[in-house]
């Protein structure tokens, strides 16, 4: 390892033109059509909040999908803020952060989600029922025996929150 490689990393914010940022050819992150559409909605509503990270040469380390969507939205000539290291990342650092920035996302506190947010809002904001752990119908499969056409009960197996449609 060279002396430069041992320099502690520090990140600064710079402005770069979207179209000048280069995707990493081995970026393993992909989006489903639904995730893509949710990202479009987020960028249209809130603009770019989470700054992409790029190496000193403009190669994208984190934020590939945000940059791709900005280009799709016709914003390639726009300058945005990005995070840039004080020195060029080694290949090992680059590849490690590429994975860590997408993998280290944490889990959800389903009690807080269930008690502090509306399920319909969570769905609108990008959650699928399967992500919320929602099951349709009553949990034991037993109805009221009368073929009721009343509201369906949804129950989260993680926190037991119930709601009706």
Average pLDDT for 55-74: 97
Convert the pLDDT of each residue in 26-50 to its tens digit: 988 889 999 999 999 999 999 999 9
CATH topology of domain 3-103: 3.90.1530
Whole-prediction pTM value? 0.69
Largest CA distance in the chain: 77
The CA-CA-CA angle for residues 56, 73, 83, to 5°, reads 20
pLDDT score, position 125: 80
Of 39, 154, 163, 161, which Cα lies nearest the Cα of 109?
A: 161
Convert the pLDDT of each residue in 99-139 to its tens digit: 988 776 666 777 887 888 888 888 878 777 877 777 655 44
> Where exactly does CATH 3.90.1530 map onto the chain?
3-103
CB atoms closer than 10 angstroms to residue 151: 9
In angstroms, the CA 60 to CA 84 distance is 10
Q: Is the pLDDT of residue 142 over 50?
A: no
pLDDT score, position 119: 85
Q: Which two tokens stand for residue 66?
A: 């945000």
User: Which class for 51: exposed (0-12), middle (13-18), buried (19 or more C-beta within 10 A)?
Assistant: middle
């Amino acid at each position: 390892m060279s002396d430069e490689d041992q320099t502690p990393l520090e990140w600064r914010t710079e402005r770069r033109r979207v179209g000048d940022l280069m995707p990493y050819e081995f970026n393993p992150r992909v989006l489903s059509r639904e995730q893509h559409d949710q990202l479009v909605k987020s960028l249209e509503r809130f603009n770019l909040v989470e700054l992409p990270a790029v190496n000193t040469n403009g190669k994208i380390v984190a934020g590939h999908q945000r940059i791709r969507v900005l280009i799709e939205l016709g914003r390639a000539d726009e300058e945005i803020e990005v995070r840039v290291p004080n020195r060029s990342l080694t290949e090992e650092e680059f590849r490690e952060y590429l994975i860590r920035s997408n993998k280290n996302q944490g889990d959800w506190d389903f009690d807080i989600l269930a008690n502090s947010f509306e399920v319909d809002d969570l769905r609108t904001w990008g959650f699928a029922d399967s992500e919320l752990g929602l099951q349709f119908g009553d949990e034991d499969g037993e109805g009221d025996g009368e073929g009721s056409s009343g509201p369906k009960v949804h129950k989260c197996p993680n926190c037991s929150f119930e709601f009706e449609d």
